[in-house]
Amino acid sequence: MQEAPLMPKATAVWLVENTALSFDQIAEFCKLHPLEVRAIADGDSAQGIKGLDPIQTGQLTREAIENAEKNTNLRLKLAERKVRVPEQKTKRGPRYTPVSRRQDRPNAILWLLRNHPELKDSQIMRLVGTTKSTIQGIRDRTHWNAANLSPLDPVTLGLCSQIDLDMQVAKAAKEKPAPSDQDRITLLPASVTTAPSDMPVEEDSRAAAASAKAQEDEDVSAVFAKLKKIGGTKPEDDE
């Protein structure tokens, strides 16, 4: 797909004013709608925009324009650049924080340390644009304003986006090793948690079982004795 010329609307203004090209030719070259080019010609659009000469900028040649004026089916193409400038890859530096928000960074760092302890210092630095010494000072409470800090969400403060925060948290969780079986907390049985401290667990369990057995025997004997009284038989006769 052909690239749009430099300043498409200004280029279209110049072509409308200085050439006999059709609206379709200008629209296709400038990547505009033909009706928009017609509005430029009628003075309904692009008022106050100064036309940009594509010949002086090296985007078109006079010969190409003249040939297109003679043949309305001919489409204009951008002239080949004589000098190609290599694209420069900009290295992403630390996040820029507006001056009005810089005083809120310590509060945001405190919030991150409390709510997401799995985050590395480098991740916090990328999120709120701070330094490692500041993070360490807030963590150790040696920061000059540690007594007045209160944890505040960096997303609410506008220091980072929710997407960036979620991405860093997910990355930290992925890098964090899974807990081993020894680290996992298991629930103890009630007999262990409610046992007296001076009585061994095994002895307590045996005593509880014996007490339950004795209570069960007493209940059975009481039931049989009541049945014998109802039937008119005394317990002594049975013996």
- By C-alpha distance, which of 1, 36, 19, 35 is closest to 9? 36
| More confident call, 239 vs 14 | 14
Q: What is the pLDDT of residues 123-150, one digit of tens each?
A: 999 998 889 999 999 999 999 888 899 9
Mean pLDDT confidence for 98-106: 71
State yes or no: pLDDT of 55 exceeds 70: yes
Report the range of poorest mean pLDDT among 12-21, 84-93, 223-232: 84-93
CA dist list (Å): 96 to 75, 91, 122, 123, 159: 45, 14, 15, 15, 9
Integer Cα distance of 48 and 30 in angstroms? 18
CA dist list (Å): 84 to 30, 81, 158, 198: 21, 6, 40, 88
Q: What is the pLDDT of residues 56-80, one digit of tens each?
A: 888 888 998 999 889 988 888 888 7
State yes or no: pLDDT of 158 exceeds 90: no
Integer Cα distance of 12 and 6 in angstroms? 10
Other beta carbons within 10 Å of 31 = 15
CA dist list (Å): 154 to 129, 151, 191: 11, 9, 47
pLDDT for res 237? 47
CA dist list (Å): 14 to 3, 10, 37, 50: 18, 6, 11, 8
Mean pLDDT confidence for 184-194: 57
Integer Cα distance of 174 and 206 in angstroms? 48
What residue has token string 């401290």? 197
pLDDT for res 201? 47
pLDDT for res 103? 80
pLDDT for res 60? 87
| More confident call, 15 vs 203 | 15
- Computed over every residue of the chain, the mean pLDDT equals 77
- Residue positions counted in the chain: 239
Report the range of poorest mean pLDDT among 23-32, 41-50, 142-151: 41-50
State yes or no: pLDDT of 238 exceeds 50: no
| More confident call, 144 vs 237 | 144
pTM given for the model: 0.38
| Domain edges within the chain | 8-70, 99-174, 204-233
